[in-house]
A and B are shown apart, each in its own frame.
Chain A
Amino acid sequence: MTEGGWRTFLVKVHNAAGVTAELKALSPQAMPLSNAPPEQVNDRWLELSLFTGRPLAGPKLSGLELEYRILQLYSRDAGKRSARIAFNVGQGTQDIGFRNDVDLLFTAAATSEVTFKINDENGKPTPPPCWSRTGPANVYPSPAKRLAPDFSFHPQVYRADGEMIKLPPGQYTVEASRGPEYLPATQALAMENGPRTLGIELKRWIDPVKFNYYSGDHHIHAAGCAHYTNPTQGVLASDMMRQVLGEDLKVGCNLTWGPCFDYQKQFFTGKDDKVSAAPYLLRYDVEVSGFGSHQSGHLCLLRLKDMMYPGGESKLHWPTLGLNTLKWAKRQGAITGPAHSGNGNRGQGWPVAELRHPRLQRHRGQRVHRGHHPRCPRPQRHPDPLHRLHLHG
């Protein structure tokens, strides 16, 4: 095998029963790293897949007495690693008295680094990362084997000028961009044994700052949602800042909410986080969600000075009627509003919020985005319509 790369192997299948069910391969070492218990992170070094494309007819066995299948294996690590690989053709098909798994020892050859030299539209090296991914068929590094600062829920990883990824020998296509204000670019990369440097020239198609518009995402999370809550309770500001820079977001509002609330709350300062570097700002604030939203739906509370509602130090004492929460937040100068209101609230051409609450009519025509939130939006009930609100994505 090769570090950070896929290899294919043959599997001989003697099928005396003429079974035509799907042949499945499993391995405890191939479990995802996202939400893995910390003590299992080292052992989950493998990714596996049974190839089912042409010339094979699909995932199901042919029913012939003998056939060969193709097993694809990916190694996160270099060196000697062992894996237990099991097969079945449906529940309860293990042969009693025999093993339906086998322990195998692999040696994965170390691979080389490709270092990115990234220039922005002005020809200057970019301290902010751009994102890149490689092909042809597979995405590298393998999403299932990523932990922060790389995330499993999207194909890209973010790398700054001078940073690298490891790739085994082969032909790749590297896609690079830096958020929606830039043009995505692709280029070929041939990796051999030995380090490589790849130059990337970023091209911007629009610069909204020149028109006094600043891109931002005021609804991002560092825990829960698509982020893991294990092996760590979410990720850190530095991990989130890498994404903010990589998408050229001038503002990122990192909202602590239900999952891992008591861990993530320690990072709230009431100020721009120390990872901020003008003009790129990251703040910790709160989304009332997963607690305190029973009566009124989810609320975004931005620019808080104090993140903890009076009467406790966690999330269970918060009022369930959002109006009280909104009033408390407003008194400290916060910007507040219902979450998830940009998408999913549309009916007969108008946002449902406008139909239900005439005071929100003034927002007609306003486009509100949920930005890069990876989860599908859903309609939420809105707080008291007589309370003056901003709309929040």
Chain B
Amino acid sequence: MPARAVRAIQAALDPLCLIAVDINPESRVKVAAGPSSGGG
């Protein structure tokens, strides 16, 4: 998929996310409130 399309999808979906899950290179998970959570 072209990089521009990926960026467009991210720009559309990211503001709608309730939660952001981050898995680091060592497979450790951390979680944060997303933009649609109203600040958590």
Contacts and interface: CB of A to CB of B under 8 A. Distances in A.
A89 B17 contact: no
Q: How large is the interface on B (under 10, 10 to 19, 20 to 34, 35 or more residues)?
A: 20 to 34
12 contacts: A10-B17, A10-B36, A11-B17, A11-B20, A12-B13, A14-B20, A14-B21, A14-B22, A68-B13, A89-B23, A99-B31, A102-B31
A52 interface: no
B26 A105 contact: no
Contact of A17 (B26, B31, B32, B33): B26
Interface in B1-40: 6, 10, 13-14, 16-34, 36-38, 40
Given A103-B40, A104-B40, A10 B18 contact: yes
Contact of B37 (A23, A93, A99, A104): A104
A90 B18 CA distance: 22
B23 A9 contact: no
Chain A's interface: helix, strand, loop or mixed, by majority? strand
Given A93-B27, A94-B29, A102 B17 contact: no
A12 B24 contact: no
Contacts of A102: 19, 31-33, 37, 40
Contacts of B16: 10
A318 to B, nearest CB: 52
B21 A23 contact: yes
Nearest to B34: A12
A66 B26 CA distance: 16
Nearest to A82: B40
B21 A87 contact: yes
B25 A16 contact: yes
A115 B4 CA distance: 53
Contacts of A94: 28-30
A240 B34 CA distance: 45
Interface of A: 9-17, 19, 23, 66, 68, 71, 85-90, 93-96, 98-105
A68 B21 CA distance: 10
Contacts of B6: 66
Chain B's interface: helix, strand, loop or mixed, by majority? mixed
Interface of B: 6, 10, 13-14, 16-34, 36-38, 40
A97 B38 CA distance: 24
A122 to B, nearest CB: 52
Given A10-B18, A71-B18, A93 B28 contact: yes
Contact of B24 (A16, A68, A85, A105): A16
B17 A12 contact: yes
> 8 shortest A-B CB distances, which residue pairs?
A95-B28, A98-B30, A9-B18, A95-B30, A12-B17, A17-B27, A10-B17, A13-B21
B27 A87 contact: no
B32 to A, nearest CB: 6
Contacts of A23: 21
A272 B13 CA distance: 62
Contacts of A68: 13, 17
A263 B19 CA distance: 45
Contacts of A98: 28, 30
A11 B18 contact: yes
A17 B20 contact: no
Nearest to A93: B29
Contact of A100 (B13, B14, B25, B30): B30
A105 B27 contact: no
Contacts of A103: 40
